[in-house]
Amino acid sequence: MAKAQLASTVALSPLDTAHKQLDIVADRLNLDPGLREVLRTPKRELIVHFPVRMDDGRIRIFEGYRVQHNIARGPAKGGIRYHPNLCLDDVRALAMWMTWKCAVVGIPFGGAKGGVVCNPKSMSKGELERLTRRFATELSIMIGPESDIPAPDMNTNAQIMAWFMDTYSMHKGYSVPAIVTGKPISIGGSEGRFEATGIGVAITIREAATRLGTPLQNARVAVQGFGNVGSVAALYLQNLGCRVIAISDSQGGVFSGEGLDIREAMRYKEAQGQLDGFAERISNADLLELPCDVLVPAAMEDQITAENAPRINTKLLAEAANGPITPEADAILAEKRVFLLPDILANAGGVTVSYFEWVQDLQAFFWKEAEIKAKLESVMVSSFNDVYRMAQEQGTDMRLAAYMLAVRRVTEAIAARGIYP
Ligand code: NAD
């Protein structure tokens, strides 16, 4: 069943998709109907409406959310998103996916997500700071270093986490660095957090290539999106001997059959603000269809669709971005026997080092970068092996295997704890 079924979630809302994915996995695992209902339903949800004084003196009311999907395996963990189209159902879906992502890499967190309906691009720094501080105060009845630990997500960053941490700490009367991750290093952030997701992507690709018998020496790699995740993944893949033949940003991409110098490309992008001019031009659409050995969509969701999936020409595809492949395209790629590294595994290096940041904050003892990288390597390799073994045992693809592993781990925790009282 596997491949087509997880992919049959066409044109659904994120929450419908998340429910459908869960149903497929629950059927496959023959889950008790009561347990299935527990997993479908968020544990806690908070909706807040709060005023912010804008720069022109007006008061505006904003709506914000925090959803804890499941906390059977540990405190809730998940980002804070600022977006004009945010809605509660989307936050519910994102929280559920965080539960699975934490479970698949075996870190002791449950899943959460939150955010504010706002357009941060039209707000001043002062307005964003006041919104963040008030939102952190509104959430303080639900979050805490032992209960629910936010992090950056779309349109939020280390500065916003610093305001979050400071606000929470002001109310407590002492510093509580473990209240958020993704903070600046000066206030308890972790070494290695910036590179963690890209390194994790490269590690899972290396492990997959070994299993597939595809040597990475000279392997052709194309990376869509040259931001935090894409640029670091490209650099590490180059260090593993790959030939990175194409990279891109939102303006378009550059190509060289001989392989691009990724460090030079990073310097060029830093100096010029774009990749255009660094090498021969290639469009984002053409980049995805290049004949290559490894394709890494690292930009945004829904980049590989039913329209372009038939022309994708790679052996291995790593979902560095969240949800870059539509469910219809997923089915097409499965038919073409592309080996897929699903997002909840491939890009879990970020939440893994967030976990390390939280551990360091709680113990007030900080690790060196080399130690963090060694621990990240260990988590990513064993997670890859766990998912690969599940895929082999169950005769399924890596996406369904990752979901099965995650759901099984969460249900084991629920069963071990029992239903209270
Ligand atoms: P980023 O903003 O640093 O980089 C995104 C890159 O994609 C930029 O180079 C941008 O120019 C490019 N881009 C945007 N639209 C594009 C388009 N249409 N075509 C091609 N390129 C485009 O973001 P990031 O942190 O690198 O995140 C990238 C993806 O990885 C997102 O899906 C994010 O949710 C996911 N992710 C990130 C992390 C993390 O730790 N940063 C963790 C897990 C998942």
> Is there an atom of ligand 1 within 6 Å of 228 CB?
yes
pLDDT of 4 higher than 80: no
- In a domain, residue 319? The reply is yes
> Is there an atom of ligand 1 within 6 Å of 298 CB?
yes
Q: Which of 318, 346, 374 is the last residue of a domain?
A: 346
pLDDT of 3 higher than 90: no
pLDDT of 2 higher than 60: no
CATH at residue 279: 3.40.50.720
CATH at residue 96: 3.40.50.10860
Do 140 and 168 have their domain in common?
A: yes
Q: In sequence order, what are the residues at sequence separation of 6 or more whose Cβ sits closer than 8 angstroms to the Cβ of residue 403?
A: 6, 21, 24, 25, 100, 344
pLDDT of 10 higher than 70: no
Confidence at residue 327, expressed as pLDDT on a 0 to 100 scale: 85
The amino acid sitting at 37 is E
> Is there an atom of ligand 1 within 6 Å of 229 CB?
yes
Q: Which helix (H) or strand (E) holds 180?
A: none
- In a domain, residue 116? The reply is yes
Q: For residue 6, what pLDDT band results from cuts at 50, 70 and 90? A: low
Cis bond leading into 145, ω under 30°?
no
Do 220 and 338 have their domain in common?
A: yes
> Is there an atom of ligand 1 within 6 Å of 225 CB?
yes
C-alpha 248 – ligand 1 centre gap (Å): 11
Question: Rounded mean pLDDT of the chain?
Answer: 95
Ligand 1, residue 350: give the atom nearest the CA. 40
> Is there an atom of ligand 1 within 6 Å of 226 CB?
yes
- Give residue 120's Cα distance to chain centre: 21
> Is there an atom of ligand 1 within 6 Å of 321 CB?
yes
Q: Which of 302, 324, 346 is the last residue of a domain?
A: 346
Do 201 and 330 have their domain in common?
A: yes
Minimum CA distance residue for ligand 1 atom 22:
250
Confidence at residue 9, expressed as pLDDT on a 0 to 100 scale: 45
Mean pLDDT of the 196-212 span: 97
> How many domains are contained in the chain?
2
pLDDT of 1 higher than 50: no
How far from 78 is each of 101, 178, 217, 258, 277, CA to CA, in Å? 10, 13, 36, 40, 38
What is the dihedral sign for C-alpha 314, 315, 319, 324?
positive
Do 249 and 128 have their domain in common?
A: no
**Helix ranges restricted to H, 240-337:** 262-272, 284-288, 327-335
Residue listed under structure tokens 């950056």: 152
Mean pLDDT of the 207-230 span: 96
Q: In sequence order, what are the residues at sequence separation of 6 or more whose Cβ sits closer than 8 angstroms to the Cβ of residue 421?
A: none
C-alpha 347 – ligand 1 centre gap (Å): 11
Give the length of the chain.
Answer: 421
Do 246 and 328 have their domain in common?
A: yes
Do 271 and 133 have their domain in common?
A: no
- In a domain, residue 17? The reply is no
- In a domain, residue 299? The reply is yes
Do 76 and 200 have their domain in common?
A: no
- Highest mean pLDDT among 17-26, 326-335, 403-412 belongs to 403-412
Minimum CA distance residue for ligand 1 atom 8:
227
- In a domain, residue 356? The reply is no
The better pLDDT of the pair 300, 316 is held by 316
Confidence at residue 31, expressed as pLDDT on a 0 to 100 scale: 97
Minimum CA distance residue for ligand 1 atom 32:
321
Q: Which of 326, 346, 366 is the last residue of a domain?
A: 346
Q: Which helix (H) or strand (E) holds 300?
A: none
Reported as a single tens digit per residue, the pLDDT across 39-93 is 999 999 999 999 999 999 999 999 999 999 999 999 999 999 999 999 999 999 9
Ligand 1, residue 269: give the atom nearest the CA. 9
Confidence at residue 11, expressed as pLDDT on a 0 to 100 scale: 63
- In a domain, residue 152? The reply is yes
Distance, CA of 236 to CA of 239 (rounded, Å): 5
The amino acid sitting at 134 is R
Paired sense of beta strands 110-117 and 59-70, if any = antiparallel
Reported as a single tens digit per residue, the pLDDT across 111-127 is 999 999 999 999 999 99
C-alpha 303 – ligand 1 centre gap (Å): 12
Mean pLDDT of the 346-351 span: 97
Mean pLDDT of the 241-260 span: 97
Strand-pairing partners, residue 62, are 50
Distance, CA of 108 to CA of 105 (rounded, Å): 9
- In a domain, residue 228? The reply is yes
Do 209 and 339 have their domain in common?
A: yes
Reported as a single tens digit per residue, the pLDDT across 276-310 is 999 999 999 999 999 999 999 999 888 999 999 99
Do 237 and 311 have their domain in common?
A: yes
Q: What's the DSSP call for residue 189?
A: P
Strand-pairing partners, residue 79, are 151
Confidence at residue 279, expressed as pLDDT on a 0 to 100 scale: 98
C-alpha 261 – ligand 1 centre gap (Å): 20
Strand-pairing partners, residue 269, are none
pLDDT of 403 higher than 60: yes
Identify whether 368 is a catalytic site residue: no
> Is there an atom of ligand 1 within 6 Å of 248 CB?
yes
Confidence at residue 5, expressed as pLDDT on a 0 to 100 scale: 52
> Is there an atom of ligand 1 within 6 Å of 299 CB?
yes
Reported as a single tens digit per residue, the pLDDT across 157-174 is 999 999 999 999 999 999
- In a domain, residue 62? The reply is yes
pLDDT of 8 higher than 60: no
Residue 173 backbone dihedrals phi, psi, to 5 degrees: 95, 5
Q: Which helix (H) or strand (E) holds 255?
A: strand 252-255
Residue 264: which domain range?
194-346
* Best probe residue, ligand 1, of 228, 272, 282, 288 (max atoms within 8 Å of C-beta): 228
Do 337 and 269 have their domain in common?
A: yes
Q: Which of 43, 77, 101, 113 is catalytic?
A: 113
Distance, CA of 378 to CA of 372 (rounded, Å): 10
Minimum CA distance residue for ligand 1 atom 40:
350
Confidence at residue 96, expressed as pLDDT on a 0 to 100 scale: 97
pLDDT of 27 higher than 60: yes
Do 215 and 325 have their domain in common?
A: yes
Do 206 and 136 have their domain in common?
A: no
pLDDT of 17 higher than 90: no
